[in-house]
């Protein structure tokens, strides 16, 4: 009963202050989706960061859990995402909003393995201190709350991944490489 009252309170707050949260967050309260938002400041021009992110072929370079992105027609793309315990998830997305140099928003298509939506926004920081990159993701985990718990256990949860991926993007864009503690031997 306490959970029900809390949920009613949250829904009332969303209705009372409709602009106090991003659309995915407002929708998530009502649908029990998981929402994550992370921001990082990168010492690069906004246009450069936007262009790099908008070329979806670049995403697997800094997003550990993205195995592949295939660009399809009409703003659609197919993402293969690493899941817990060696599994993978296919996400078919459609770009639902795009403001050049500022924002890219996407939503999953019905034939996807999971239901998700998200956006990435690029904002100039005052005083020429770089660009704030904010990524927001809302998703309904496969397997419900048990699936969310398993993803968290294996550190495949979007909140954990989102923080890591934005840090990796920062390293790549500022230093030209991603620092790692892994001991790698190149086969080349």
Helix, strand and coil in the chain, % to nearest 5: 40, 30, 30
Residue 58 in any domain: the answer is: yes
Nearest to 94 by CA among 111, 21, 81: 111
Q: Are residues 19 and 101 in the same domain?
A: no
Measured distance CA(112)–CA(27) in Å, rounded: 19
Measured distance CA(175)–CA(100) in Å, rounded: 25
Task: Name the E strands within the chain.
Answer: 34-42, 66-71, 76-82, 88-99, 103-108, 115-124, 131-140
Q: Which pLDDT tens digits describe the chain residue by residue (188 residues)?
A: 444 454 454 444 444 444 444 444 444 433 446 677 889 999 999 999 999 999 999 999 998 888 999 999 988 999 998 876 677 888 999 999 999 999 999 999 999 988 889 999 999 999 989 999 999 988 776 555 544 544 554 445 565 677 888 999 999 999 998 887 765 555 44
Q: How many folded domains does the chain comprise?
A: 2
Q: Are residues 153 and 97 in the same domain?
A: yes
| CATH number for 64 | 3.30.530.20
Residue 60 in any domain: the answer is: yes
Whether the model pTM is above 0.85: no
Q: Which domain holds residue 11?
A: 1-30
């Amino acid at each position: 009963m306490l959970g029900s009252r809390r949920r009613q309170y949250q829904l009332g707050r969303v209705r009372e202050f409709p602009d106090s949260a991003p659309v995915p967050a407002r929708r998530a309260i009502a649908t029990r989706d998981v929402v994550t938002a992370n921001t990082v400041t990168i010492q690069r021009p906004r246009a450069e960061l936007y262009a790099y992110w908008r070329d979806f072929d670049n995403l697997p370079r800094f997003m550990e859990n993205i195995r592949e992105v295939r660009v399809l027609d009409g703003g659609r793309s197919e993402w293969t995402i690493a899941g817990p315990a060696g599994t993978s998830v296919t996400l078919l997305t459609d770009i639902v909003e795009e403001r050049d140099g500022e924002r890219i928003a996407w939503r999953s298509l019905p034939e996807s393995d999971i239901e998700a939506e998200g956006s990435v926004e690029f904002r100039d920081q005052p005083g020429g201190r770089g660009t704030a990159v904010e990524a927001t993701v809302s998703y309904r985990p496969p397997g419900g709350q048990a699936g969310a718990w398993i993803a968290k256990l294996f550190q495949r949860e979007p909140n954990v991944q989102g923080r890591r991926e934005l840090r990796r993007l920062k390293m790549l864009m500022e230093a030209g490489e991603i620092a790692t503690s892994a001991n790698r031997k190149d086969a080349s």
